[in-house]
């Protein structure tokens, strides 16, 4: 393991975090991943200025095998490290970016997981709304589905972001969008805001967050995901909270929405990202044809 007297790993990561947040304006979730990958690299090589392409390639292979990463996840790891070495170049710590010489593995083509209308209704039906947390959870997941939110977006919503039946959402790269809220979710929000949220608020620490925990604190992405997984297991469904976003997009297209509108609602910068849902819709139609066609 090499040591450098130039700059500590802690200081490098601290400056890198500022770079990602202030200059690249990445989301909190992406910053967390990028810092994690950079931290692993600095644990293995304390002087990033001297590490070779061959050493980085061996490191990526060993780290990927240890964590059982898929080709898609390996590609994300390489993207994170490429960003880190770009930062090192800007800081004059390193002259080149060794990741430019490492081939990115071909990503597996996989369609997003989508739940049917009936499955989503069943999921919501197993949530016990006899207590305040149940009311909150049902409202939270109805809003995520109604608006096609990322989990990080749902966690970051403030109470003033919901006005006039619309939700103001800050997405990736701090891009703001307004999303109409469906009637079912509107009714749930009204009930939650009147009957549940006031009882969850802490008198000593007021919260701006729309969705809060039993002590009035903002719900984290991890807490939202954990609660969803519990309800999905209770409903006998093998889906994740992100499935609600995928289902939102697919159901809109199935109902005749145009691709450009769905792109805007999802907050995608590139319409090609949205086009994958047209393939999901086509595969759904194929399954229906195979099941019900008389031939």
**Catalytic residue check, 245:** yes
Which of 221, 245, 246, 251 is the catalytic position? 245
**Catalytic residue check, 162:** no
Which of 172, 177, 191, 218 is the catalytic position? 172
Which of 24, 177, 218, 268 is the catalytic position? 268
Q: Which residue has the tokens 């066609």?
A: 293
Which of 168, 177, 218, 242 is the catalytic position? 242
Which of 19, 192, 231, 277 is the catalytic position? 277
**Catalytic residue check, 122:** no
Instruction: Quickly list DSSP for the chain.
Output: ----SS--HHHHHHHHHHIIIIIS---HHHHHHHHHHHHHHHHH-S-TTT--HHHHHHHHHHHHHHHT--HHHHHHHHHHHHHHHHHHHHTTS-SS-GGGGSPPPPPP--PPP---HHHHHHHHHTS-TTSHHHHHHHHHHHHHHHHT--HHHHHH-BGGGEETTEEEEE-GGG-EEEEEPPHHHHHHHHHIIIIIHHHHS-SSS---BSSB-TTSPBPPHHHHHHHHHHHHHHHT----THHHHHHHHHHHHHTT--HHHHHHHHT-SSHHHHHHHHHHHHHHHHHHHHHH---
Q: What are phi and psi of 234, to 5 degrees?
A: -65, -35
Which of 150, 197, 221, 246 is the catalytic position? 150
**Catalytic residue check, 7:** no
**Catalytic residue check, 18:** no
**Catalytic residue check, 293:** no
Rounded distance, CA 30 to CA 174, Å?
Answer: 12
| Active site residues per annotation | 150, 172, 242, 245, 268, 277
């Amino acid at each position: 393991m090499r040591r450098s007297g130039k700059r500590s790993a802690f200081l490098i990561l601290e400056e890198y975090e500022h770079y990602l947040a202030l200059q690249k304006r990445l989301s909190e979730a992406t910053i967390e991943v990028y810092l994690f990958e950079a931290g692993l690299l600095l644990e293995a090589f304390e002087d990033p200025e001297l590490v070779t392409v061959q050493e980085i390639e061996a490191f990526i292979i060993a780290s990927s095998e240890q964590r059982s990463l898929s080709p898609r996840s390996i590609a994300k790891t390489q993207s994170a490290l490429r960003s880190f070495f770009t930062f090192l170049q800007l800081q004059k710590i390193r002259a080149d970016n060794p990741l430019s010489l490492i081939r990115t593995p071909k990503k597996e083509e996989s369609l997003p997981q989508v739940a049917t209308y009936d499955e989503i209704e069943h999921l919501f039906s197993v949530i016990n709304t006899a207590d305040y947390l149940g009311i909150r959870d049902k409202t939270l997941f109805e809003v995520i589905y109604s608006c096609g939110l990322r989990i990080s977006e749902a966690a970051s919503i403030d109470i003033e972001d919901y006005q006039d039946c619309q939700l103001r959402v800050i997405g990736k790269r701090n891009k703001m969008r307004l999303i109409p809220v469906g009637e079912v979710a509107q009714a749930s929000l009204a009930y939650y805001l009147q009957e549940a949220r006031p009882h969850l608020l802490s008198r000593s620490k007021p919260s701006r967050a729309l969705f809060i925990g039993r002590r009035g604190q903002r719900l984290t992405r991890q807490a939202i995901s954990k609660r969803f997984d519990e309800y999905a297991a209770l409903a006998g469904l093998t889906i994740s909270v992100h499935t609600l976003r995928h289902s939102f997009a697919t159901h809109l297209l199935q109902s005749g929405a145009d691709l450009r509108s769905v792109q805007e609602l999802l907050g995608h910068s590139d319409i090609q990202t949205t086009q994958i849902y047209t393939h999901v819709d086509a595969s759904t139609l194929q399954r229906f044809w195979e099941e019900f066609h008389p031939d």
